[in-house]
């Protein structure tokens, strides 16, 4: 019996090694837990072709939206840890959902092998062109004179733009009216149409509207001015500290990837992000390439979890 067990274990180890050595041998699925067309979906589709060249297998992007990304994340959690399924998701999935969803089907810090933070992008405080403030100081003064009157459009409760607004209120002693939408596109549409006053939106989705004059930018949440909007001051420059916020997208896989499979998958993602053509295209849209190590991602995630937990608790933020 012992001899048989030993033989089986040896066979299993050889099988695993051979599988890892031959990886990948079939198409790989990149699960995006949001609808097609958003920032996260765009990142997954941007890196797919280059990953295909590197790994020799197609990268199939599969959208599994619902529950602010929790459905797709739960699917990846339960997938086989063999390198053929990985998650491309945003800040909400990795650092916000645990504090907003009571029955979350996954633990972002325990249920995944973190691969890399792919990109990050600051939010821009934008307003309708006729809003009675042209810089951040005027805006804060207006908020204080008109408490709970200015409407802040967001892409949904718990989104990065919602949490940025909440953090901004906390740090400036101001208030506003949160107007959640089902995504960034309808929020921006209503903002341009004058049905909302202001919004903290991802730079890549509003930069075009700012340049054409459909929206005016009051400040940006990055630690330095953005190359695509050099005329827009940072919040720190304008006198508001500790509201440096970036929306970010990252990749992770089911917990338990073989070490060499994890290294191959990580290398393919990072290589795609640093490909000159892909990198230039993303930078032109306002993204900053991060492409860090799994260890750096894990450390960053812990910082983000702690930060947004505090913001959510202080702001008494719920999904209702």
Residues 153-180: tens digit of each pLDDT:
988 778 888 999 999 999 999 999 999 8
Map tokens 């260890």 to a residue: 295
Q: Which domain holds residue 47?
A: 27-120+248-308
In this predicted structure, what is the pLDDT of residue 44? Answer: 96
Do 114 and 39 lie in one domain? The reply is yes
Q: How many CB atoms lie within 10 A of CB 118?
A: 27
2 occurs within a structural domain? no
How many Cβ atoms sit within 10 Å of the Cβ of residue 271? 17
Number of domains in the chain: 2
- Same-domain pairing of 176 and 98: no
How many whole angstroms separate alpha carbon 24 and alpha carbon 22?
Answer: 6
Same domain, 54 and 110: yes
Assess if residue 22 is contained within a domain.
Answer: no
pTM of this structure:
0.84
250 contacts: CB under 8 Å, gap ≥ 6: 88, 89, 90, 94, 114, 115, 116, 117, 118, 297
CA atoms within 13 A on the CB side of 260: 9
Q: Is residue 236 part of a domain?
A: no
- Give the 3-state secondary structure of residue 119: strand
Give the number of other Cβ atoms within 10 Å of residue 179's Cβ. Answer: 17
Residues 127 and 158 grouped into a single domain: yes
On whether residue 314 sits in a domain, the answer given is no
Residue 99 shares a structural domain with residue 43: yes
Report whether 243 contacts 168 (CB < 8 A). Answer: yes
- Return the SS3 of 90: strand
* Separation CA 45–CA 61 (nearest Å): 7
Stretches where the chain sits below pLDDT 70 are 1-20, 320
Q: What is the CATH number of the domain that holds 139?
A: 3.40.190.10
Q: What is the CATH number of the domain that holds 106?
A: 3.40.190.150
Residues 62 and 111 occupy one common structural domain: yes
Q: What is the pLDDT of residue 1?
A: 53
Query: Is residue 32 domain-shared with residue 109, that is, in the same domain?
Result: yes
**Residue 3 confidence (pLDDT):** 52
Cα 220 from Cα 236, distance rounded (Å): 9
pLDDT of residue 289: 97
Q: Quick one: 8 exposed, middle or buried, by C-beta within 10 A (0-12, 13-18, 19+)?
A: exposed
Q: Note whether 113 and 128 are same-domain residues.
A: no
Q: Are residues 110 and 254 in the same domain?
A: yes
Q: What is the pLDDT of residue 147?
A: 96
pLDDT for the residue numbered 159: 82
- 15: in domain: no
Same domain, 206 and 138: yes
Q: Do the beta carbons of residue 121 and residue 202 sit within 8 Å? A: yes
Instruction: State how far the Cα of 166 lies from the Cα of 170, in Å rounded to an integer.
Output: 6
Distance of alpha carbon 33 from alpha carbon 63, whole angstroms = 6
Same domain, 129 and 207: yes
The Cα–Cα gap between 314 and 317 comes to 8
Q: Are residues 81 and 134 in the same domain?
A: no
Burial class (CB in 10 A: 0-12, 13-18, 19+), 200: buried
With beta carbons less than 8 A apart as the criterion, state whether 32 and 41 touch: yes
Domain-embedded: residue 238: no
Secondary structure (3-state) at 244:
coil
Query: What pLDDT, on a 0 to 100 scale, did the predictor assign at position 18?
Result: 37
| 194 assigned to some structural domain | yes
Q: Is residue 157 part of a domain?
A: yes
Quick one: 95 exposed, middle or buried, by C-beta within 10 A (0-12, 13-18, 19+)? buried
Among 200, 220, 240, residue at a domain's last position: 220
């Amino acid at each position: 019996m012992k001899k048989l067990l030993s033989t089986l274990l040896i066979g299993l180890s050889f099988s695993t090694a051979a599988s890892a050595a031959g990886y990948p041998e079939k198409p790989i699925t990149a699960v995006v837990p949001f609808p097609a067309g958003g920032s996260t979906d765009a990142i997954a589709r941007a890196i797919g072709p280059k990953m295909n060249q590197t790994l020799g297998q197609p990268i199939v992007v599969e959208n599994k939206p619902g529950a602010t990304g929790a459905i797709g994340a739960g699917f990846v959690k339960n997938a086989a840890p063999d390198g053929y399924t990985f998650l491309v998701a945003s800040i909400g999935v990795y650092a916000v959902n645990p504090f907003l969803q009571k029955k979350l089907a996954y633990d972002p810090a325990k249920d995944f092998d973190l691969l890399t933070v792919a990109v990050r992008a600051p939010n821009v405080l934008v307003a309708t062109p006729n809003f009675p403030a042209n810089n951040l100081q005027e805006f804060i003064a207006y908020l204080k004179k008109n408490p709970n009157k200015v409407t802040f459009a967001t892409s949904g409760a718990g989104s990065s733009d919602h949490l940025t607004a909440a953090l901004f209120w906390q740090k400036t002693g101001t208030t506003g009216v949160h107007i959640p939408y089902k995504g960034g596109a309808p929020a921006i549409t209503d903002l341009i149409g004058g049905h909302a006053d202001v919004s903290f939106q991802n730079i890549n989705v509003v930069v075009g509207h700012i340049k054409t004059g459909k929206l005016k930018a009051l400040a940006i949440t990055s630690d330095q001015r953005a190359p695509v909007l050099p005329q827009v001051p940072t919040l720190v420059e304008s006198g508001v500290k500790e509201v440096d916020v970036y929306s970010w997208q990252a990749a992770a896989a089911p917990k338990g990837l073989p070490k060499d499979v994890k290294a191959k998958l990580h290398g393919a993602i990072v290589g795609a992000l640093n490909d000159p053509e892909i990198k230039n295209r993303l930078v032109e849209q306002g993204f900053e390439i991060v492409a860090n190590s799994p260890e750096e991602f894990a450390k960053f995630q812990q910082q983000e979890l702690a930060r947004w937990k505090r913001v959510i608790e202080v702001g008494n933020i719920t999904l209702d």
